[in-house]
Structure 1
Amino acid sequence: MKAFYTDHYVLPLPPGHRFPMEKYSQLRDRVSNLNGVQLVEAPSVTDTEILYAHDPSYLIKILSGEISAQEQQEIGFPWSEKMVERSRRSAGATLAAAKAALSEGLAANLAGGTHHAYRDRGSGFCVFNDSAITAKALQKEIHPKLKIAIVDLDVHQGNGTASILQNDKSIFTLSIHGENNFPFTKEQSDLDIGLPNGCEDADYLNALNQGFDVLNTFKPDFIIYLAGADPHEGDRLGKLSISKDGMRQRDECVFQYGLDRQIPIAFSMAGGYGREIQSTVDIHFQTIQTALRYQQ
């Protein structure tokens, strides 16, 4: 199974910044010892591919660095050339994983899940929306009639993804998230399931099964899966109470769904802000291990 990485593009963040940049290199170190995983350096998405999901004026602002202090604050990162390159490659990793999954069944992006980026602005540590870019690129570059589902199981609603794809009937957006969490103004996905604070394993997995019942009527040909670690009970931003075993069962449900229907899946790690960074790395690593068992 191919796993694409970008962690060697490290953003120059100020001391005490809350984005867990170091989790990505720790995850790659763990994954490098797994039999059956081929680590591949992520390619960069092209300007053309970015423009499948984003406005030209926004892309120009990001490339030139002419984004205001307020816009940088909303993204959560100070602008730098490394930020641009890492954002390109983070989206490139999801697209490369999707192309690999088409022939191999499953493939991973060891970062990605940048679902808060809108067509014309970044937000919430997200510059380019990798899932929206990938879905549109698959249709434009591989198969125009491909029906794609984006299954977003990050604890935060995929608001940017929902907004970018809201009028696209060929791409189904499913978001299962904490109802009382960021973003506090939600967008409308094709299916949103908002969960209460403190939600535990049984209710979470029940919500996922409800989501799949609806997804069955859409009949996707391809799935982009955001395997956020932040529903875990040890996450400082998550507000849910899903155990590590519940997180494993969640991943199994998604991969089993794809296997049963022979639907390829590209998956990204998305969010994870554990009180202990090791707990987040453990959850992401468990997702990779679980996927390996389902490799078609």
Structure 2
Amino acid sequence: MLAFHSDAHSLLLPPGHRFPQSKYRLLREHFEAHPGLLRMEAAAPATEGELALAHTPDYVEAVLLGRLTAAQQREIGFPWSPSMAARSVHSVGASIMAARAALAEGVAANMAGGTHHAYADKGSGYCVFNDVAVAARLMQAEWHRARRQLLRVLVIDLDVHQGNGTAAIFRDDDSVFTFSMHGAKNFPFRKEPSDLDVELPDGCADDEYLAALDTALERLWQLPPPGLAFYLAGADPHEGDRLGRLKLTTAGLLERDRRVLTALRERRIPVALSMAGGYGRDLASTVACQVNTLNEAARQWALWRAQD
């Protein structure tokens, strides 16, 4: 299975900053040490024109040229630097490449991404550009140009935080269905309405979570079938997460991934994954959960290819 990485571009963060940027490098290094499951490639950067499919030109220019205000940088949570801008455009590029690969092969992944708090005109919550929104709009444009058909897109966002930026970007777009299942009392405290929101109480554990997921998925399969799905497989619902407030076990998270990816494969809906959030008290636990996600994705990719 193809997986695209962008961790060569680091953030210049002050000591003690709680964003765990090293997890992306650790995830890549795990699969380098265990070759065979993933075909890993470095991501190319998204272009300014591609970013403008989901973001305002003024905001894109402010990020690329270092013109973000102090207030904008505080809302994002990162100080601006050339490497911050480079990391952001390469992470979007990874989702673009994963989406193209998914349309060709069934399943592919961005080994970072899932920056769902970014709006059209601003970043927020450690999210600079909205990689899924850019990739979705670009795939729709390329699909229409090649086939003269509409590509319907489904966003399955299972990060523990609501995908407010994604919901806002696609609010009036009937061609993209946004589904977010998240902690009711967690960030962002002002939520944007997705097409389907499922809010979970603090302390929600495996059985309650998976039952809610099953109910939501049944609603999704009653919709007109999408031609492409994006799956934000956040590790932050895990019981060991510093920011998550839910209580899923490692086995519960893996079962979540299995149910989502199996349902998509059985319906022959191509899926591009992104790793989204994960802030474990023990960072190794976060990396282990995301290793499980990619292992399961690779297994589903093999089953998809066997059915061709």
**Shared fold (TM-score greater than 0.5)?**
yes
Contact 2:143 2:150 in 1 (8 A): no
Which of 210, 218, 222 is equivalent to 2:228? 222
Residue 34 (structure 1) shift:
3.6
Contact 2:55 2:121 in 1 (8 A): yes
1:262 is the counterpart of 2:263: no
Residue 221 (structure 1) shift:
1.5
Residue 64 (structure 1) shift:
1.6
Q: 1:235-246 counterparts in 2 under 5 A?
A: 235-246=241-252
Q: Note the residue ranges of structure 1 that are not aligned, 5 or more in a row.
A: none
Q: Deviations over 1:233-263 (max 9, x none)?
A: 0001000000100000000011101111011
Residue 27 (structure 1) shift:
0.4
Range with bigger deviation, 58-67 or 173-182:
58-67
Separation (CA, whole Å) in 2 of partners of 1:21 and 1:221:
32
Q: Which residue of 2 aligns with 1:75?
A: 76
Separation (CA, whole Å) in 2 of partners of 1:86 and 1:211:
34
Give 1:9's aligned amino acid: H
Separation (CA, whole Å) in 2 of partners of 1:100 and 1:119:
25
Residue 10 (structure 1) shift:
0.9
Separation (CA, whole Å) in 2 of partners of 1:103 and 1:82:
31
Residue 133 (structure 1) shift:
0.5
SS of residue matched to 1:107: strand
Contact 2:162 2:183 in 1 (8 A): yes
Q: Deviations over 1:131-161 (max 9, x none)?
A: 1111111001223501110000000000000
Q: 1:1-296 counterparts in 2 under 5 A?
A: 1-32=1-32, 33-143=34-144, 144-218=149-223, 219-295=225-301, 296=304
SS of residue matched to 2:286: helix
Q: Deviations over 1:144-182 (max 9, x none)?
A: 501110000000000000000000000000000000000
Separation (CA, whole Å) in 1 of partners of 2:273 and 2:102:
9
State the percentage of identical aligned residues: 51
Separation (CA, whole Å) in 2 of partners of 1:80 and 1:290:
35
Separation (CA, whole Å) in 1 of partners of 2:95 and 2:138:
11
Give 1:30's aligned amino acid: H
Separation (CA, whole Å) in 1 of partners of 2:230 and 2:68:
30
Residue 100 (structure 1) shift:
0.4
Separation (CA, whole Å) in 1 of partners of 2:52 and 2:245:
35
Residue 99 (structure 1) shift:
0.2
Separation (CA, whole Å) in 2 of partners of 1:165 and 1:7:
28
Give 1:47's aligned amino acid: E
Contact 2:183 2:200 in 1 (8 A): yes
Separation (CA, whole Å) in 2 of partners of 1:120 and 1:227:
25
Separation (CA, whole Å) in 2 of partners of 1:54 and 1:292:
32
Moved over 6 A (4+): none
Give 1:117's aligned amino acid: A
SS of residue matched to 1:217: coil
- Relative to the length of structure 1, the TM-score reads 0.98
Backbone CA RMSD of aligned residues = 0.8
Q: Note the residue ranges of structure 2 that are not aligned, 5 or more in a row.
A: none
Contact 2:37 2:295 in 1 (8 A): no
Separation (CA, whole Å) in 1 of partners of 2:248 and 2:178:
22
Give 1:97's aligned amino acid: A
Separation (CA, whole Å) in 2 of partners of 1:210 and 1:130:
27
- Relative to the length of structure 2, the TM-score reads 0.95
Residue 36 (structure 1) shift:
2.6
Separation (CA, whole Å) in 2 of partners of 1:36 and 1:238:
29
